[in-house]
Each structure stands twice: as C-alpha cells, then as structure tokens.
Amino acid sequence: GTKIHQVAENVDGIMWARGARQSSPYKTYGYSFYEFRTLDGTIFRYVRRPDGSVIEEKAESPKSRYLISQNPPSAIGSDFSKHDFVINEVPSNRELARHTRIFYRGGWFSKFYGGPGLTMQSCPYPDTFDSGRFISTVLKPSIREGKSNGGA
C-alpha cells in the first residue's frame, strides 16, 4: 500500500537513486530537470531549456533535493517478496512517501492459487501502481503548463 508522510510543493527536479537514460522524463512528470546516478556513480542530468528542448549534462553532484529509489526486493519466507518504492528528502534522508507491494514468487501455494506456472503475482492483483502519478502526487512540480513557478 501507499503511505504519504509529507507532500513537497514547487519541486524543480527529481533524482533517481539508480536509473536508465530517458530522453524527456520531465515531460512525463512536469519537472524542469531530472537526474539519475548510474551504477558506476556517474550523475546525468536532463535539463529543460526555455525553448522546450532537452539537454543532457554530466553533473559533478546532484542538484535535486528529492531522491526516488526502488529498494531491492526482500524475501518474505520462500514464496513472497516485498518491493518498496521510496521518496526521500536530501540531505536529511527523511522519508516523504513509500509504496510497498508484495509479490508471490511461486512455491507450494501455487497449487491452490493459479497452478504451477504462476509466478510474480502482485498483491493486490492486478497491480495498478502508477509510479509517475505517485511521484507527482508527493513531489508537486514547479512547472505548470510550460511556466515555472520557482521553488526548490
């Protein structure tokens, strides 16, 4: 389920703890920049320019005050796993929100719940979690209809 402790307003940018390159993530969420750290520690930042185009920058350090992470699955017994999607404020590391999902990974329970071929079912099923909606609900973008409202 989802637990939101605090909502942040006028957020200019976000950072993923680990990520893959995306060409225009701020268009999806409405932020002026989007950062991610690769597995080797390199930080990339996508910045929205006034003309609407996007540039990719290699950054020395993160600019965002908010870190989004998807924690590695943790086992719950032999047949289930827990997956957490977390938004923290940087540098305090204070948690603003968390969405937790439980996945069924097979095992003896599959005989009674869908047969032996069933793997990685989420609870609740079907899983309707929308990470983009979750992020923009907790971290309200500063850009609205192409205009910046300032902010952090």
DSSP β-bridge partners for residue 100: 84
147 confidence band (pLDDT: 50, 70, 90):
very low
User: For residue 65, is pLDDT > 90?
Assistant: yes
User: For residue 16, is pLDDT > 80?
Assistant: yes
User: What is d(CA 135, CA 116) in angstroms, rounded to the nearest whole number?
Assistant: 35
pLDDT at residue number 105: 65
pLDDT at residue number 149: 39
Is residue 14 exposed (0-12), middle (13-18) or buried (19+ Cβ within 10 Å)? buried
pLDDT at residue number 28: 46
pTM metric for this prediction: 0.73
**What average pLDDT score do residues 22-41 get?**
71
- The string of pLDDT tens digits covering residues 85-123 is 899 999 899 999 999 887 766 655 555 555 444 445 555
**What average pLDDT score do residues 7-35 get?**
74
Could you give the C-alpha distances from 140 to 43, 50, 135, 150, 152, in angstroms and in order?
23, 20, 8, 12, 11
Lowest mean pLDDT among 1-10, 41-50, 141-150: 141-150
Contact 24, 134 (CB under 8 A): no
pLDDT at residue number 6: 96
pLDDT at residue number 66: 94
N-terminal to C-terminal alpha carbon distance within the chain: 28
